[in-house]
Structure 1
Amino acid sequence: MKILFIGESWTIHMIHAKGFDTFESTEYVEGATYLLEGLKEEGFDITYMPSHEVQVRFPKTLEELNKYDSIVLSDIGSNTFLLQNATFYNMEKIPNALSLIKEYVQNGGGFLMIGGYLSFMGIEGKANYKNTILNEVFPVEMKDYDDRAEYPEGINPKTVKEHEITKGITAWPAFLGYNRFKAKSDAEVLVTAGEDPFLVVGKYEKGKTACFASDCAPHWGSEEFMNWSYYKPVWNRILNHISR
């Protein structure tokens, strides 16, 4: 099973002040390493595209996307797809990457969005997927604004519907936050966090879709979640459910 996993990377630029003097350093981080290595162990063929590589690596045609069984977006905002260098700096017309994803799902491809500060609407609404063409594909209705629900004390989701994804899972580990959204009328809510949907699955024309409200990795994903016995199985099940 071939999966295109996009996002979950960031660069941190720091200024260190030591008395009178300062110096700068830069750190590059990939948050999904643990998950991707686990999926590879489970037999998935993973193509990983960090956020900054979308500019030069994202497929320009539907034919290129169709070689994948599912596309996963995790903690990467819509601007990264819509404001690519050719358009932003050189005013060139290029294929709309989000339109290509939409068409890919219409034709039977799987789609999963995983939560984070730049997923769904995200911090200060900057992820902004509600106001893109991809909004139609999601099995959820997004907020009009910053959709984060922060739980520094931890919140434990609960399974509310038995499904091939949730079979045998009743108690979930604590999460430190998630993105708030509402399930569309034709979608299935499998897991909730408080009064909010947490894991939702649905369909868009010939394709299957899913939304997971929290992180697949730190920081919302707690150590308890990362060490959970169902950590790898639940992602395996989600991808098997939505993939072609």
Structure 2
Amino acid sequence: MSRVLIAGESWMTASTHVKGVDSFTVHSYVEGVGPLRDALTAAGHTVEHLPAHLVPSAFPGDAAALSGYDVVILSDIGANSIQLAPAVFDRSERGDDRLAALADWVAAGGALIMIGGYLSFTGFEAKAAFRQTPLADVLPVELLPDDDRVELPAGAVPAVADAAHAALGGAGEDWPHLLGYNRVRAKDGAATLATVNGDPLVVVGGHGGGRAAVFTSDCSPHWAPPAFCEEWAGYGRLFDGLVRWVAN
């Protein structure tokens, strides 16, 4: 079984309530990691969740820190949060290039999964911004230069290209619908195992001595509706399969 670090999959929301001439603002903290964390834990993996607000200060900065894990999963967390530690962003001090360290770690035999979302791949208004970072060479897909989101409010059912591939974990061929994804292009030599709306959904490939995989939709709402992430028995098999495959 693998030691897995999931970075991201949390957010804070501020809402303003207006009642006549008066108003007040309330804030909430939400984690979307539950379905993924529970599925991987149930499969026997050890999972550590690093919430998005802690990523800038606590993401592993070098190979020694990354060696505590077998697999790193980035889910709905942008490049800026990883690259810009407080010392760099707030005090203009030199620090670790944590995306370069992550890329080197994968090349040396590590394992990486990126899961889609508004702050994955290129992302909402291109704010995820991974395209011009060292991680772009590691991923088995090419990233678009502009906002890469594809919203599917009517839903689209994925098409499985290779149900027997170990990375799909025996999830089968009948998958529930999804409500959106990040558009990418598979690199030469990478294996596209599933598509949605004609675009890559699950792509896997090697990088140096390590492996990387992408799931371009979400692991929780809103792109992954309850039918996908709560009711479908293949959900846990899929992400267990991806973790086992990249961990090799």
Smaller-chain TM-score bracket: over 0.9
Is residue 127 of structure 1 aligned with residue 161 of structure 2? Answer: no
Percent of residue pairs identical? 39
Superposed, 1:1-244 pairs within 5 Å as 1-161=2-162, 162-166=164-168, 167=170, 169-226=172-229, 227-244=231-248
The CA distance in 2 between the partners of 1:9 and 1:29, in whole Å, is 6
The CA distance in 2 between the partners of 1:181 and 1:158, in whole Å, is 16
Q: Deviation of residue 196 (structure 1)?
A: 0.6
Question: CA RMSD of the aligned region, Å?
Answer: 1.1
Question: Are the aligned partners of 2:171 and 2:234 in contact in 1 as well (CA < 8 Å)?
Answer: no
Please tell me the residue identity of whatever aligns with 2:225. Answer: S
* Count of matched residue positions in the alignment of Structure 1 and Structure 2: 244
The CA distance in 2 between the partners of 1:128 and 1:225, in whole Å, is 27
In the TM superposition, structure 1's runs of 4+ consecutive aligned residues that sit over 4 Å from their partners are none
Question: Are the aligned partners of 2:39 and 2:240 in contact in 1 as well (CA < 8 Å)?
Answer: no
Q: Deviation of residue 60 (structure 1)?
A: 2.5
The CA distance in 2 between the partners of 1:67 and 1:118, in whole Å, is 25
> Matched residue of 1:10: which SS?
strand
Q: Deviation of residue 168 (structure 1)?
A: 5.6
Which residues of structure 2 form unaligned runs of 5+? none
Which residues of structure 1 form unaligned runs of 5+? none
Q: Deviations over 1:17-41 (max 9, x none)?
A: 1111101110001101122022112
The CA distance in 2 between the partners of 1:66 and 1:109, in whole Å, is 8
Please tell me the residue identity of whatever aligns with 2:232. Answer: W
The TM-score with structure 1 as length reference comes to 0.97
Please tell me the residue identity of whatever aligns with 1:222. Answer: P
The TM-score with structure 2 as length reference comes to 0.96
The CA distance in 1 between the partners of 2:61 and 2:144, in whole Å, is 30
The CA distance in 1 between the partners of 2:39 and 2:160, in whole Å, is 23
Question: Are the aligned partners of 2:113 and 2:212 in contact in 1 as well (CA < 8 Å)?
Answer: yes
> Matched residue of 2:131: which SS?
helix
Q: Deviation of residue 61 (structure 1)?
A: 2.3
The CA distance in 1 between the partners of 2:181 and 2:171, in whole Å, is 23
Q: Deviation of residue 160 (structure 1)?
A: 0.9
Question: Are the aligned partners of 2:63 and 2:105 in contact in 1 as well (CA < 8 Å)?
Answer: yes
The CA distance in 2 between the partners of 1:151 and 1:54, in whole Å, is 29
